[in-house]
Chain A
Amino acid sequence: VIAPRSPAITAGHRATVLTVWLALLALAAVVIWRTPFVADLSAFLPAKPDARQQVLIEQLQSGVAARTLLIGIDGGDGEKGGEQRAAASRALATALRASGHFEQVQNGGDLGSAEGGFAAVGTWLFDHRYQLSPAVDATRFTAAGLRDGIAETLSLLGTPAGNAIKPLLERDPTGETQRIAEALIPASAPRTENGVWVSRQGQRAVLLANVAAAGADLDGQAAALAAVRKAFAEVAASGLVLRMSGAPVFSVDSRAQIESEVKFLALAGTLLMSTLLWLAFASLPALGVALLPVATGVLAGIAAVGLGFGSVHGVTLGFGSALIGEAVDYAIYYLIQAQRPAQAAGAGVQPGQPAAPGWQHWLRSSWPTVRLGLFTSVCGFVALAFSGFPGLAQLGVFSCAGLIAAALATRFVLPLLMPNGARGQGTRRRLGAVAGAAVAWLPRLRRPLQALGVVAVLALLWRHDTLWQSDLASLSPISAEALALDESLRADLTSSEGGALVVVQGPDVQGTLQRVEATASVLDGLVNRGVLAGYNSVTRWLPSEATQRQRINSLPEAEALRSALAQATAGGPLPASRLAPFLADVQAARQFAPVTQQDLQGTALAPLVEALLLERKDGSWAALLPLQGVTLSTTELRQALERPDNGVMLIDIKPELDRLYSRYLGEAQAQTLLGALGVVVLMALWLRSWRRLLAVCQPLVLAVALTLAGLALLQVQLSILHLVGLLLVVAVGSNYALFFDMLHQPAAEGRAGGGAGDADISRLDTLASLLLANLTTVLSFGLIALSTIPALSAIGRVVAPGALLALLLAAALARPHVSTTGVSRTS
């Protein structure tokens, strides 16, 4: 930004600047109007994951997990509570199935009934048993194979299980249905009481529901949640309590929360700033003008994010309200510092008169410092803009664009509107006096503060390995209570610890299914060795066409089967004469075509297939095989499963996500350091003096160290967001330090317009503007520190105390006011 040398503001110039400004604002407004507002979790997932993480993230964003709702029913009185909850569970499930909002509703009740289409699935599986049963191969229908199959089936007769098998005996003596059913038994299932699923202690009825609306359709998800609440209110006995969790709840709630909080923060922030500005200027026009750069900045920030990312995350907007505190500083500096010469020159000079307008004085004396402050801030935020987390990158872009726009508006628009700053005094004189007294006194604390800083640094070094949080949860906008409920409901429904997932990838559906079959046989071996409790696989009801053809081709002709059967049953308890239906079914099955994915569409199996077999964005396919009860180490499992070219990946979910987080934490640490380094380099270039650079950096380092130590004392573990906050402390604090550096330069320098007597007034005014700017920053970040959105409050809790410390330390550590120094500003 190059300051114009011409002192006059012509009418033409004025009109041009205002027109350009308003046009840009209108353009930004149009961009914003067309930009969608999002509040889902995606901003907190990395943008450039590796192959393993990509699968996880696709699941989180659009997989079945994003549509699965966990429901719990608590309460009820004493002895009868269990039955009350069971009755409510049944009524709720019935109502939800009828509501049309859900693809599936399961509560463990009425198993085997026609509800939910599972009876139809049972029939379908039975009809296709000869292409689905893993036991069907060339030897299965020889005399020996038949004898073995029949003996296994008979071994269940005369037991309660036999009661279920007996009706099928004549059509399925070799027990293919059993083999299919057996494979579908889950290794861990919810506890059942009174005919419905309950928690392991039996104190809560639990249900699982799949929302029909897509995961990204938050309105659809919200409607489904409302349907659950409404249905529950209608069917549940009094005293029962509904609990809901899962991705739909998180997404819908966090959207509502973010929406209401953003409104609140924007309103409260504006009110707070207005109050402060009123106290400072006691002038409505001044207040209005001071808010213009802020409004410009916020509009530009949102528009830039909209252009860059295609959508704006709610958290970015919430953060924007804190940026008000930073952007308003420019206006404050301007309004106070542009005003002095006009007053000093006496009543003869009219505002707006070209003779000696205050803005020119400001342009010479303060703007370079403000501009440097802008550059340092932007330097910090640019580092964020390259973050691997879209959420953080949005904050970075928003802040850069917002601050630049606010500064430009201050530089070019404010001189047109208030060429001599704000005339109102308010309590500013007193503010200046207080600030002056404080600045005079604070240096006495210099030694103690430095000592404290050294202690803090040492303490941080000593505890450095426990300072950082090591999981992704810190980034999520979900509260700890909501997470605890989610965990308890999930434990009730699955009882499975940790989560390991095998992902099998292939170029097309059939290729993928064949690879899954190969992997499944390896997993079967592990199950038989007892090192794996079980796993799920799509090939249990959708084998590859090759496998199905192989099975169908292995079915013998009627005559061959008849003679083999006669041999197999000779002398046994089950006479061949009873098995004519079996012969007929096998002959019919020989004509069947392989089952395809399309055949399953619209059946109760479709959601299962959809959950376990996914088309990737690039057109390739991936099958998921969730593992249960793994006792092998990850390395051993990888060795057993993964080959260079078989498309198989083992994902150990928790460590994988932790690894992902630590990668991004490391990245963010590097980015933050680079950002801070950039700030220092900028200041060094500007100051061109090691001594002054050291003096400016010292309070920043101490502010960061003390803030960190304070957080550590409060047992707050640091996340990426705290790191962002620290970067902000450096970016904002550098402004304060630079102003003090400026104040301590010889009075004559850079202040051609002021006489010697003005120096003190100027100094007090600058101090007042600094104090005011600091107050606005501390208050606005203090406001978001109170936010219930963890991402925002983490930033607020670092910046609010950090910025205050930065100002106090800058004052305390400032070099004594000397009027003779060899250092001169050269820029």
Chain B
Amino acid sequence: MPDSETRDPEAAPGAVAPSDPAPASAETAGPVARRSVLRGIGLAGAAVVAAGAGVLAYRGYDQGVVATGRGPAYEPWRTWRDHRGPAAAVAAALLAANPHNIQPWLFRIAGEDIDVYADPDPERRIPVLDPYDRELHVGLGCALENLVLAARAGGSDPQVRLLPDPGNAGHVATVTLRPGPRVAGAEYDAIPHRHTNRGPYRDRPIEDGLLGRMRALGAADDSGPRLVWVTDPAQRSAVSDLMVRAAEAVTADEQQSVDGFAWFRADWDDIQHHRDGLTVDAQGVPAPVRSAAKLLPAQSRQAGDKFWVAQTRTVHTRTAAAYGMILVPDVNDPADRLRGGQLLQRLHLFATAQGLALQHMNQITERADRERQAGLAPEFGDALRNLLDNTPGTGAPGDRVLVMFRAGYPVRAALASPRRHVSEVLR
């Protein structure tokens, strides 16, 4: 056995530790060599662990695991009050609720007018989920509501004209800002805190008084959009069943599934670059689950569909304290949809100010519109009508359901979705 193997591996050439037996022997060489091999294996194992830690750290950095709500895509939520004049109203408008976070809006500031347009970009659509632009107009109505609230907070008296240009259906509104008193209520202050909450809600009913106050935010008569609550346990259960069935039907329809999946952004760089779409952060799952989802490879469309249906069955419907339905005289009239969207946003802001959570649940109306578009049997269209007929207080017989949502007291706060910068939505 070579002499060197009996020496301390740290020893300089020629140095011999006092405890070392001077000459190496066959009896002592074995254990020393074995120890040396074991130490080598240990160091190699440590290297593998360190390399794994390095890869994990980089993955965490690359996927923004500790950067939730940070980066340019989330700046509009923090900087919206920094703008002045009409741009301040636009900065508030782009924080509004909208379908699949496609942000289907453009704005033009011309003197004291702010024109609101549906973005003509065909990419900024969900054509199979929303074939008749129902959700698109509702989203634009939501933006309009924020715009009006911010204009009032800025000392204007906003005059809204819906669909001011009969020759241009994409020009959905013009808001004229006349001087007025500064009015900034709780709803205005709630703008940056309003997020769709897809997490579980507490097992606590919403007080009747609160439900009534929210109902009062809608039209008093049948001339405009109205809110109807579904709180009765039996009826709520029926709506829940319908929601789950509709979610299953959406995922079973490949085109609808693809349409929705196209707006899911799993990559942190994509989120920061595009500043739109649905994200892991906004799914309402517990923080460690959220982190794991970001660290692991992105889910397939099929896996994402399964997750959504499971969440709808076990979280969204099971923990809903109440369902809300916004009714309008004509769901095909863009003006009614815009007004319905304004009411939806007003409700959401009011709910946020009251500590309530709200989640838009569009699967039933998406299926009803899809059935109509594809010439299918109107399973969900009929179910929606039956639901309305069996719900007390629905008022005018001609009214139809424009949108639905669930509400309740949240278990955990909702997180923000990405938003484009003001400069990106100005014409």
A, B from the same assembly: no
